[in-house]
Amino acid sequence: MTSAALATELREARERMLILVRDLGGAREFGPRLAIVNPPRWEVGHVGWFQEYWCLRRLDEDRFSAARGESIVPEADRLYNSATVPHATRWTLPLPEFDATLRYCEEVRRRTEDRLAARCSSDDAYFARLAVRHEDMHAEAFHYTRQTLGYEAPALEVPEHPIGDLRAGDAEIAGGPLELGEAPSAVFAFDNEKWAHPVRVRPFRLSRVAVSNAEFAAFVQADGYRRRELWCESGWRWLASADRRQPLYWNRRHGAWQLRRFDRWIDLPPDEPVTHVNWFEARAYCRYATRRLPTEAEWEFAASWDPIAGRRRRHPWGDEPWTPRRANLQHACPASVHAYPEGDSAMGVRQLIGNVWEWTASPFGPYPGFSPDPYREYSEPWFGTHKVLRGGAFATSPRIAYSTYRNFFLPDRADVFAGFRTCALDSA
């Protein structure tokens, strides 16, 4: 990738983030102190700091070197380094004003482009790509913040979702050998994707579409949140502490379900994927339906394997890049589980990319031979405590929505745009 192409990605990521944060100044700069959101003034500054730290301040050619030059912002490391700044303190730090923070981010982006134009080594390109994807993740996180705090939807174009035929039932997937993970030839990979290694996937049956709101409502109506036998031990403890009786952002009004989408209450769309359910809720639904969650190897096999060609694809639809007709990405709202037929996998599974992140049965852990990349805090601290999600949501950037990308959250997190699909038990 040329320095001009990298500069284009830097600008695209910044433009999208600015759409999401421009109206978060003033009274919204800090917001309530919650464990699942950051104060916007801090988070915007952190995005700029991250790009500056990795793209501009490196003093040593060794990519793992900790040697750094000075920041544009005095004591920036003390303010914005998420690895060392405790979450609870981010509301009380002496942060620059919101407008000054935006100017800082823009100055960093401009200098990064200038640096790449003057010198674009393989390491320079690697860290620029890392910074872009980091910004993409925070852009999606600003969607979560807006949803959590009941702010209006982002000022993004609302797409006309491509209509598809009604999908139902399971896809029969023969299984076989799979190189799980990213290939060393990839333009960019996160450390937890490295590297592709052989696994064998047994035959299984995977639902062609994600679990819908209507299907999950049947679970709620069947007292799914009160039936102890449907919940694992840790899930039952979470349920007791959370006192949850339906998914987050659902409400019963005049005998019908409603859903809060950002700042609006709407009638529950029955054919959209259930969203804002955590891993415990997904697992309980599976027990209710006499089903199970897929493993991440099964998910990746279904998303990437082409049985006719006898090889894996980059995306479910093929090796061609994403287009707006193939998957619901970088938008402001979900679509029906039946939409986007052009994104079907080779085995007829729909929306494995986009619309909603999908919980898997797999704990988040290292692949064989794992070695952390320079941004050491990205993966390793979360091994063993988080669960893997795959596929991307409607708010996800196409740059991180591909078949080998591994997202990961604690099993009790329901603020993310997460849902799930299921497997038949006889394929366990």
The DSSP string of 14-69 is HHHHHHHHGGGSGGGTT----TT---HHHHHHHHHHHHHHHHT-B-SSSTT---B-
Does any domain span residue 154? no
Crossing angle for the helix pair 40-55 and 122-148, nearest 10 degrees?
170
Residue 207 Cα distances to 16, 103, 307, 322, angstroms: 33, 47, 18, 23
Which among 280, 208, 199, 203 is positioned nearest to 247, based on CA atoms?
Answer: 280
- State the Cα–Cα distance between residues 402 and 319, nearest whole angstrom: 10
Which among 39, 46, 121 is positioned nearest to 76, based on CA atoms?
Answer: 46
Which among 361, 363, 422, 359 is positioned nearest to 393, based on CA atoms?
Answer: 359
82 and 38 housed in the same domain = yes
* Residue at 287: amino acid letter: R
- State the Cα–Cα distance between residues 341 and 337, nearest whole angstrom: 10
Provide CB contacts within 8 A for 217, sequence distance 6+.
257, 268, 270
77 and 197 housed in the same domain = no
365 and 401 housed in the same domain = yes
For the chain (428 residues), the mean pLDDT of every run of 10, in chain order, is 93 98 96 97 98 97 94 97 98 98 98 97 97 98 98 92 95 97 96 98 98 98 98 98 97 96 98 98 98 98 96 96 97 96 98 98 98 98 98 98 98 98 87
- State the Cα–Cα distance between residues 72 and 105, nearest whole angstrom: 10
Contact 40, 31 (CB under 8 A): yes
User: What pLDDT is attached to residue 419?
Assistant: 98
- State the Cα–Cα distance between residues 344 and 366, nearest whole angstrom: 29
DSSP label of 388? E
Element (H, E) at 406: none
Boundary residue ending a domain (92, 125, 148): 148
User: What pLDDT is attached to residue 426?
Assistant: 84
Structure token pair of residue 310: 């006898």
Does any domain span residue 153? no
144 and 171 housed in the same domain = no
Provide CB contacts within 8 A for 227, sequence distance 6+.
288
Residue with tokens 């659902």, as numbered in its chain: 250
Element (H, E) at 291: strand 291-292
Beta bridge partners of 311: 306
384 and 246 housed in the same domain = yes
142 and 167 housed in the same domain = no
Give SS3 for 279.
Answer: helix
419 and 270 housed in the same domain = yes
73 and 208 housed in the same domain = no
Boundary residue ending a domain (120, 148, 176): 148
Give SS3 for 226.
Answer: coil
313 and 428 housed in the same domain = yes
Q: How many domains, the chain?
A: 2
293 and 186 housed in the same domain = yes
Domain that holds residue 33: 3-148
Structure token pair of residue 1: 């990738």
Boundary residue ending a domain (114, 148, 182): 148
- The pairing of beta strand 418-419 with beta strand 357-363: parallel
Number of residues in the chain: 428
Does any domain span residue 310? yes
168 and 121 housed in the same domain = no
Which among 275, 258, 227 is positioned nearest to 414, based on CA atoms?
Answer: 275
- CA-angle at 408, arms to 405 and 412, nearest 5°: 150
Residue with tokens 């600008």, as numbered in its chain: 11
118 and 225 housed in the same domain = no
- State the Cα–Cα distance between residues 225 and 216, nearest whole angstrom: 11
Cβ neighbour number for residue 413 with a 10 Å cutoff: 18
Burial of 2 (0-12, 13-18, 19+ CB in 10 A): exposed
- The pairing of beta strand 423-424 with beta strand 305-306: unpaired
Does any domain span residue 189? yes
Domain at 356, CATH number: 3.90.1580.10
Does any domain span residue 414? yes
- State the Cα–Cα distance between residues 54 and 374, nearest whole angstrom: 9
DSSP label of 118? H
